[in-house]
Amino acid sequence: MSISGSIRRGLGMVAALVLVAALPASPAIAGGRGDDLSARHSLREPVTDENFYFVMADRFANGDTANDQGGLGSDPLVSGFDPTRKGFYNGGDLKGLRSKIDYIKGLGTTSIWLTPSFKNKAVQLEDGPSAGYHGYWITDFTQIDPHLGTNADLRALIDTAHSKGMKVYFDIITNHTADVIGYEEGARKGYVSKDVAPYKTASGATFDDRDFAGQPSFPALDPATSFPYKPVLDPAEQNLKVPAWLNDVTLYHNRGDTTFVGENSYYGDFFGLDDLFTENPRVVRGMIDIYKTWIRDFGVDGFRIDTMKHVNDEFWQTFGPEILDYAHRQGKPEFFMFGEVFDTTKSFTSQFTTRDRMQSVLDFPFQDAARNFASRGQPAAALQTFFAGDDWYTDADSNVYELPTFLGNHDMGRIGGFVRGDNPGATDAEWVSRDRLAHELMYLSRGNPVIYYGDEQGFTGPGGDQDARQTLFASRVPDYLDDDLLGTDATHATDNYVTTHPLYESIEGLAALTKRNPALRDGAQQHRYASEGPGIYAFSRIDRRDQREYLVALNNSETAQTAAVPTYASGRDTFKSVYGDGPRTLRAGNDGRLTVTVPPLSAVVYEANGKVAGSRSAPSVSLAQPAPAPGARGRLQVTANVGGSSFYEVTFYASDNGGPWRPVGTDDNAPYQVFDDVSDQRAGSSVRYRAVVLDNKGHTRESAARSATVPAPLVTIEAPTEGSGVRGTVEVRAVVDPERATNVVAIERRVAGGAWTRVGTDSSSPAYTVFDDLTPLNLAANTPVEYRAVLLPGGLAGPGATSAARNVRAAGPPATSATVHYYRPAGDYGDPAAAGWGLHMWGDAVAPDVLAQIAWDKPWPRAGVTDGWADYPIPLVDDTKPVNFIMHLPSGDTVPTSREPGGDRSFLPINAPEIWLIAGDPTIYTSKPAV
């Protein structure tokens, strides 16, 4: 944080203490007596005004060529160093980063975020092969990867950054290591669920790990008997990992590779990477000890935490508070942690900062919304809906203002690549304008902006992962040399540290603007105006101490747009321009509206010349009836209706079952609401809510109390899919929201509208599965079958709950073939024996001898043409597995001239043994469409 930012925050803390001096130390009871609730300010925790620069050390600058090979020799398949390949080390290091630190600071950066820099397994031959240049294949958590330098180099980098007023954040991993563990049954096996093969204690007793997660009573395990696969280590790698406890194979899940959905997203190996048993308290303690060392010995200022959503709640509920407390005791009052939760649903991403007690998460929902607005030109009103959901993050110790916001990254791709891909055929000037507009939205709205290294130089790339990891120093990678950079004639063949690049200058200017006007960084954000289509989105930013309104208006239309935007101004108040093209001053109308004109694909900012008028008395406040929050049954949506129109802050309180009032959170912009987490309350129990409004002159008013009931859990069947065909043994899988380790779920079935019959129960979370054998029923084809899941009463589940019925049908005998029908209006299917349109296929459904005949340059040919439709019969070995396919010309990969749209597509023959495709249409039709 800058010195001025520290002073500003200090003054704000004094003001807050003056205003809420009566606030007690205990967070559980607010006010001197049960019904006297204190007003609070919306939180501004230590990190609400950072500018992050996210950098991959291997790709930034090569300061020491002597460490390029990591001391492992010249063979790239041993050392991992090959500067001509995008999947290998390219030569960047910590010394290079330190040598270019003024370039980073020049952007207005206050915090450098490094990709993982611990010692990695240099090469994993199974993965391409490729190398651990990215840092996610860790073998030694105690030292810097030799390709990047030494621990002393890190210390020097941190010291230099601190001397220049910048912080350094480490990207850390808590749930996996490099791929070292193998299985007796073979390498990188498919996932085996807990319902098929439950965990067993060392003595052979079956148990559910979730019942013991984080508890000291976690059972002892035995590698020979406890896991679905027997873990083994190569003799040469039995002591490879550091610290030594990481070499204990019983501290890993050992269930095979994840598919990133459902249960296995918590328990499976990421492409073979050894997945730690984070439910085991030995793993929790080990990871806490590792990262305490980096805080104590190196002065790291914070952590970005990888793959947070793939780890159980209990881990974070221990790890987060203990690490934060330790950092504070080490003299790091602004220590900050944020996690990667790769999801765009706020009801899900927010639970890590509320229920799991972590400080913050990366704002993936913002990335999606910003791309839709700036790059795809979607309706401005979508941003209004997006920001209205910010209150999902509001609780007693955190809120949305702490979230780091970003536009692209090393996994999904770059904003420059997105604007090119979303706007084919546009000019470079338009691409640059859309790129700049995305940055304007990020810098001027709530949150902490993150620049992904190279975005300031107009880097693009055709996709994510390796295609978005170009070097800033001159590259020798052919795939990078083909990239078209935005805003410049330069290529990746030369160094790109150009401080006069238009995007570098734009980012530098935005950082300087928000530094001069702190309200634009962590002031309250209030929605003002949104066009129904592409056009203007406007909002205000207001610092509660200064009480001066800034109006931000962004235009994602390709023509200038004008709007009369509401403000807090009194009639005829004036505003001055502080950013963008437009009149130097504007005057509000008698109704307080400010008429602004925003040029195409750009932004303007106006600052009020006076302060928001002070309230003479607190406005009225009342609560709407609390209701189950949409998308999260473990939370209640509580909304306050506030009279008047000025700057207000509303604090919500809850009383559980008649107990003391607890603060839920404070909202500083309308609509005033919170989403109270009641997942630890028994379903059916009572909760009372009250709200306290605080105006801009210190006046307060309380609402009357409103009573609500903790809602019943929501039970949902995930499998089988609605309308699908079933035969033999059917996997019936259900989930419960909120998820609790104590849940017990029964699966019931009825046939042809008869009586419901229980077919089994399951208590192993987080997925509840029963395998139902239909064979003895001898069902005729198309006989209706229904399943439902019943959460049994007891514990926090209260009276329990029942899912909606899932309707399926009995399938007939197994299909031995499937048929794809393909229609091209011109009938230009080509020669089936040479260059005709055909199917590239893969998976377990198709007969192996068929797959053996298929290659990218030799797709499965048509058998003939019937009534204008090309027919592709496909021999099958298992109609319950998907047929995965691409329709294309031999070696063709250009949509739509040589490949059909829709990406990798599939169908399930048991449900639809025949499908129909139309040229240029990604839809898979299960009945013949009209053409």
Q: Indicate the SS3 state at residue 879.
A: coil
pLDDT band of residue 576 (cuts 50, 70, 90) is very high
Element (H, E) at 507: helix 502-516
Query: What would the pLDDT profile of 835-892 be if each residue is shown by its tens digit?
Result: 799 999 999 999 999 999 999 999 999 999 999 999 999 999 999 999 999 999 999 9
Confidence (pLDDT) at 861: 96
Confidence (pLDDT) at 35: 60
Q: 340, 573, 718, 879: which is the annotated catalytic residue?
A: 340
d(C-alpha 452, C-alpha 438), whole Å = 13
Query: What would the pLDDT profile of 782-800 be if each residue is shown by its tens digit?
Result: 999 999 999 999 999 999 9
Model confidence at 132: pLDDT above 60: yes
Query: What would the pLDDT profile of 150-182 be if each residue is shown by its tens digit?
Result: 999 999 999 999 999 999 999 999 999 999 999
CA angle 412, 417, 423 (to 5 degrees): 125
Closest CA to 514 of 491, 541, 537, 492: 541
Confidence (pLDDT) at 46: 84
The pLDDT > 90 percentage for the chain reads 94
Model confidence at 1: pLDDT above 50: no
Convert 901-930 into a string of H (helix), E (strand) and C (coil). Answer: CCCCEEECCCCCCEEEEECCCCCCECCCCC
pLDDT band of residue 16 (cuts 50, 70, 90) is very low
Confidence (pLDDT) at 431: 98
Query: What would the pLDDT profile of 364-413 be if each residue is shown by its tens digit?
Result: 999 999 999 999 999 999 999 999 999 999 999 999 999 999 999 999 99
Cis peptide, bond prior to residue 713, ω within 30 of zero? no
Confidence (pLDDT) at 18: 34
751 touches 776 (CB < 8 A): no
The pLDDT > 70 percentage for the chain reads 96
Token pair for 4: 């001025």
Query: What would the pLDDT profile of 665-714 be if each residue is shown by its tens digit?
Result: 999 999 999 999 999 999 999 999 999 999 999 999 999 999 999 999 99
Alpha-helix residue ranges (DSSP H) falling in 608-736: none
* Rounded mean pLDDT, 634-642: 98
Query: Counting Cβ atoms within 10 Å, is residue 73 exposed (0-12), middle (13-18) or buried (19+)?
Result: exposed
* Rounded mean pLDDT, 893-922: 94
Q: In Å, how far are 390, 527, 624 from 670, measured between CA atoms?
A: 11, 8, 14
* Amino acid (1-letter code) at residue 741: A
* Rounded mean pLDDT, 570-597: 95
* Rounded mean pLDDT, 822-835: 89
Query: What would the pLDDT profile of 250-299 be if each residue is shown by its tens digit?
Result: 999 999 999 888 899 999 999 999 999 999 999 999 999 999 999 999 99
Query: What would the pLDDT profile of 592-608 be if each residue is shown by its tens digit?
Result: 999 999 999 999 999 99
* Rounded mean pLDDT, 113-125: 97
Model confidence at 10: pLDDT above 90: no
Query: What would the pLDDT profile of 501-536 be if each residue is shown by its tens digit?
Result: 999 999 999 999 999 999 999 999 999 999 999 999
pLDDT band of residue 92 (cuts 50, 70, 90) is very high
* Rounded mean pLDDT, 615-632: 96
Model confidence at 11: pLDDT above 70: no
Strands 111-114 and 167-172: parallel
pLDDT band of residue 36 (cuts 50, 70, 90) is low
* Rounded mean pLDDT, 539-555: 97
Confidence (pLDDT) at 832: 74
Model confidence at 571: pLDDT above 90: no
Of 18-32, 88-102, 341-355, the poorest mean pLDDT is in: 18-32
340 is catalytic: yes
722 is catalytic: no
- The beta-strand segments (E) located in 643-744 are 649-656, 661-667, 672-677, 686-694, 700-702, 706-709, 714-719, 725-726, 729-737
Model confidence at 23: pLDDT above 80: no
Entry pTM: 0.91
d(C-alpha 719, C-alpha 714), whole Å = 16
Residue 682: other Cβ atoms inside 10 A: 16
Model confidence at 197: pLDDT above 80: yes
Q: The tokens 């916001």 sit on which residue?
A: 405
Q: 68, 301, 306, 356: which is the annotated catalytic residue?
A: 306
Model confidence at 60: pLDDT above 90: yes
**What mean pLDDT value characterizes the chain?**
94
